[in-house]
Amino acid sequence: MKKTARIYFLLGLLAYFPLNAQAGSYTASDSSSEEPAYVKEVEDKGEDEILSEMDKPEEKELTFAEKLELFNNGGKTLVETRDILRGRVADAEGKAIGEVKDVFVMEGGFLAGITANMGRLSLSGDLFLTPQETGLSGTDIGYGINLTGKQVKSSYDSIAKGPPDISGGKILSAQSFAGRDVTTLKGKDFAKIADILFSEDGTRAEAALLKIDYGPVRNAVVAVPIEALTFGLKRGRPSFVIDSDRAAETLKFALAQQGK
């Protein structure tokens, strides 16, 4: 009788506690809840699209020599500084609200920002517009920002005025490059900068157009990747230095071009 009673007792416990119960707290999943976002994304894209994305090769960083070839043989469209300075500024609604006055470039070619005249909004003085503060980006007419004209007016007092501080020499006006000397690490004259060339959307300085007179190379004009130059100030004026390895590669390329 005792064994029988014990069996009934155990059966009662099993009936009370389901077999899939676990120790501790447990939250059951709701089968009617929405599927995770990544599941929907996979379903929406479809198998072919997913496989094609998986097959995409990773973008490889071009070498200095490859960029020299690309920039000088028509493989990439580059825009002169004067054309960038003809651009206008569009607001978040696509309306032209200003004109580009100058473009400021950081060492390495990154866009620090632009100065723009906002006379179309009846605002005096130039504003300094940056990607970080105003969402500055390239557009068909020049540049665009993520503020409407009304927002620019209401935020006028908080937006930086005039050009940025260039006392360290690591941020320079695109207009300050032309005619400047480029020297080697030993201080020898290597070339003069004829222009700065930008990406099509104006958001990056890609190359310095150098007129080279050094060693066996004379009067050669070469678009050299901007990262080859170290920015600085010498006696308060912009100065540019090219390291030995990149100077040698540039000379080799220029000689090959002259021999064609």
Fold of 171-258: SH3 type barrels. (2.30.30)
DSSP 188: -
| CA–CA gap between residue 149 and residue 155 (Å, rounded) | 10
Residue 52 confidence (pLDDT): 56
User: Which ranges of 89-208 does DSSP label H, i.e. alpha helix?
Assistant: 131-134, 149-154
The pLDDT of residue 55:
57
pLDDT of residue 125: 87
Residue 68 DSSP SS3: helix
* pLDDT band for position 11 (cuts 50, 70, 90): very low
Please name every residue paired with 214 in a beta bridge, in sequence order, or none if there are none. 217
Class of domain 82-158: alpha beta
Q: Residue 12 — φ and ψ, nearest 5°?
A: -65, -40
Structural domain boundaries in the chain = 82-158, 171-258
**What pLDDT shows up at residue 46?**
52
The 3 state secondary structure assigned to 217-252 is: EEEEEEEEEHHHEEEEEECCEEEEEECHHHHHHHHH
Planar angle of CA 41, 47, 51, nearest 5 degrees: 100
Residue of 113 and 56 predicted with greater confidence: 113
Q: Which residues pair with 233 in a beta bridge?
A: 238
Check residue 183 and report its DSSP letter. Answer: E
CA distance 26 to 12: 22
Spatial contact of 77 and 87, defined as CB atoms under 8 Å apart = no
- Strand-pairing partners, residue 165, are none
Check if the beta carbon of residue 106 is closer than 8 Å to that of residue 112: yes
Q: Give residue for tokens 């006006």.
A: 173
- What predicted TM-score, i.e. pTM, was given to this entire model? 0.75
Share the mean pLDDT of the chain. Answer: 83
Tens-place pLDDT, residues 126-173:
999 999 999 999 999 999 999 999 999 999 999 999 888 877 789 999
